[in-house]
Amino acid sequence: MSQSDQSALGIIVARKGSKSLPGKNLKSMMGKPLLQWTAEQAQRSSLVGRLVISSDDPDVLELGRLLGIEVLDRPSELAKDETSTSAVITHVLDELNIRNHEYQALVLLEPTSPLRPIGFIDQCLTEFWLHPNQKSAVSISRIEGQHPDFSMALSDNGIISPSTGETLQHKRRQDVERIYFLEGSFYATTLSNFRESSAIYGADTLGIIVEKWQSFEVDDIDDFIIVEALMKAHFDEL
């Protein structure tokens, strides 16, 4: 299959309930609902051939319609705190009758990670497709200040000790092993792999490194303030 024939199914998941920041998907960030940033980034992608928003929130579904995006009303049993993302994706695929051969990849885009530079989604998909032996791809970012080598346990009498069990000693950031965390901007897998494993990633997953500023996501009001400040600082890149 040539590059021009390649196409991905994009799914944006946006549940109504959020205990840490109620209504966060529609909360205004830089003059737009938070979700709209991710929606427009996906719409700009030349490789996302179909885009769907799954939500149990009527206001989110209406926003999707206003943006010209296909929406799917999520049933209440798939909008609980314990509902897995995989279950939501399965519901989308089943409701839309998506067959494995229709798209080269399934792309999961979370509204809480809006700091995607221009062209980011297409760059990640292209990188994924350049590694045909990998079943999935996820965006990752380097762990720095919260690296496990800097983590401490605190005794009942207030004495700290390394949580790793090592002897307490000063370490420099440049001396610790480079390790990474899943930062949420991009998840992709083949449809066949998802059908077989019911997981967006697992074994044989490609890691795509992103910069620190891009890795922040919105969970609570503190995160929202930080991400909005970063968005202002990097606005020309978004």
Dist CA 108 CA 90 (whole Å): 12
Domain ranges of the chain: 3-143+179-237, 144-177
- φ/ψ of 230, rounded to 5, equals -65, -35
Rama region for 67: left / alpha / beta (φ>0; ψ in -120 to 50; rest): alpha
Write out pLDDT tens, residues 73-125: 999 899 888 899 999 999 999 999 999 999 999 999 999 999 999 999 999 99
Question: Strands 8-13 and 48-55, how do they pair?
Answer: parallel
The whole-number pLDDT of residue 152 equals 86
Q: What is the DSSP string of 135-197?
A: SEEEEEEE--TT-GGG-EEE-TTS-EEETTSPPP----GGGSPP-EEEEEEEEEE-HHHHHHH
The whole-number pLDDT of residue 145 equals 79
The whole-number pLDDT of residue 3 equals 39
The whole-number pLDDT of residue 5 equals 61
* Segments in the chain below pLDDT 50: 1-4
Question: CB under 8 Å to 58, separation ≥6 — which residues?
Answer: none
The whole-number pLDDT of residue 10 equals 98
The whole-number pLDDT of residue 169 equals 77
* Contact of 100 with 191, CB cutoff 8 Å: yes
Dist CA 16 CA 39 (whole Å): 16
Q: Which CATH superfamily is domain 3-143+179-237 in?
A: Spore Coat Polysaccharide Biosynthesis Protein SpsA; Chain A (3.90.550.10)
pTM score = 0.92
The whole-number pLDDT of residue 88 equals 97
The whole-number pLDDT of residue 79 equals 87
The whole-number pLDDT of residue 221 equals 96
Collapsed DSSP state (helix, strand, coil) of residue 23: coil
The whole-number pLDDT of residue 1 equals 37
